[in-house]
Amino acid sequence: MTIDFTKREQDLLHIVAQSAESLHIEAFAVGGFVRDKLLKRNCKDIDIVCVGSGIELAKKVAETIQPKPHVAYFKNFGTAQIRLDDIELEFVGARKESYRRDSRKPIVEDGTIEDDQNRRDFTINALAIHLSAKKFGTLVDPFNGLDDLKNGIIRTPLNPSITFDDDPLRMLRAIRFATQLNFKIETNTFNAIEPLSNRLKIISQERITDELNKIILSKKPSIGFKLLFNAKLLHVFFPEMVKLHGVAVQDNYGHKDNFYHTLKVLDNLSEKSNDLWLRWAAILHDIAKPATQRFEEGHGWTFHGHEVVGARWVPKIFSRFKLPLDDKMKFVQKMVALHLRPISLTKENITDSAIRRIIFDADDDLESLLLLCEADITSKNEAKVKRYKENLKLVLQRIKEVEERDHIRNWQPPISGDLIMSTFNITPSKPVGIIKDAIKDAILDGQIKNEFDAAYQLMLKKGMELGLSTTNKSTHE
């Protein structure tokens, strides 16, 4: 494995090297930067460790770069940062750290480069590159991190129980790196996680969610979720998902294991879409199956209404995960609520009105919904998968035809709530919604034409049925 620095990286590293030399201190590039360079992955930060003051080194480096960049100092942490347009330089003095049991905030003391490497999370993240003139470019690798990188292994430099106990977030990081890089977690390292899984509780939810989202955005997220489950970490922060695991059997009727089904849906979807929120929808699409599971004699297991209950749970789950509660949450909620609709269409005669409804309800998110539905076809029975996929294609074709003809997307029913209120001289109230829905339903069901006059007449009829009378002022001539 060789390191190919870009010209820009090389120039910057030489500036750091000269600055360190002039301060008579040793400096090293370390951590994620070295790992990613060796793996030929993209990296946007360069982490520098020096045996001395990181802040002084950052100041010196900034003086040498033209035009002089701003240096951000974090005195409490003894770190400094120079943010250039294309790259970030992070500086820190080599440290020896020890941790208190109730916090991941370390007590920090100055240390040697070996001390600094010792306190890092994994051997592949503990590699350093010498930046002093005589040894420029030499790898400092006390834990055989290079071999682990070559062999695809995640391993802690010290006893894993110490490394994880010092900073429990590292248990998640181990799984995140294993998923992102498709590496194996060395057995002792993995086995140390479960006994410490509850220590995750001292970690802020934002940090946990950040790692989880990185797992979700990996090429094959199921790798991470299976590891999280097996290490019992998922149990600490995502019990709803753990409940999906397992199969109930009664009178010889079983059902699929919804945990592995969900992961298959997530992997299928991840082959087609990088959208984090659609991936979250895949994770949550069946989340309420355990809560709605019933056994019907002579028929087997049912999960009636799981899409409705699941959609209702989305805000509470998003809020707990500190995920955004805006349109993104609403999008996930909509996907969960609608995930059965296109597939259920394939089981009956597909009427135009059913197609118009799904186009109306999914609106701008129709493509996403169809991607989720396709990913949701996971039967072991190849013939069944083929049949479902063909049916879904048919639905797609019908959607195209109906949309070309009826233009349901972004469609607004021709009668507004304001017109209903002024016609009947009423304030915002339940009858306004009843009349609006009746008009929308009649148009989507093809009972009246999609035009103002027909809708207006229906509004008058419905109003009368509800005992409302029209005001003269707004009666339509």
Tokens encoding 48? 């520098």
Q: Which is nearer to ligand CTP, 48 or 354 (CB)?
A: 48
Which DSSP state fits 69? Answer: P
CB of 75 to ligand CTP, least distance (A): 19
Closest CA to 342 of 389, 305, 380, 381: 389
Q: Which is nearer to ligand CTP, 117 or 333 (CB)?
A: 117
CB of 207 to ligand CTP, least distance (A): 9
Give the residue closest to ligand CTP by C-beta: 32
CB of 135 to ligand CTP, least distance (A): 20
Q: Distance between CA atoms of 213 and 81, rounded to whole angstroms? A: 25
Q: Which is nearer to ligand CTP, 188 or 471 (CB)?
A: 188
Residue located via tokens 């304001």: 418
Closest CA to 156 of 113, 190, 116: 190
CB of 190 to ligand CTP, least distance (A): 17
CB of 162 to ligand CTP, least distance (A): 12
CB neighbour list of residue 63: distance below 8 Å, 6 or more residues apart? 19
Beta carbons of 333 and 314 less than 8 angstroms apart:
yes
Beta carbons of 81 and 91 less than 8 angstroms apart:
yes
Q: Which is nearer to ligand CTP, 179 or 333 (CB)?
A: 179
CB of 299 to ligand CTP, least distance (A): 49
Q: Which is nearer to ligand CTP, 32 or 93 (CB)?
A: 32
DSSP H/E element including 140: strand 139-140
Q: Which is nearer to ligand CTP, 121 or 141 (CB)?
A: 121
- Tell me which residues touch ligand CTP (CB under 6 A): 31-32, 47, 120-121, 125, 167, 169-170, 173
Closest CA to 77 of 64, 61, 101, 58: 58
Q: Distance between CA atoms of 167 and 433, rounded to whole angstroms? A: 54
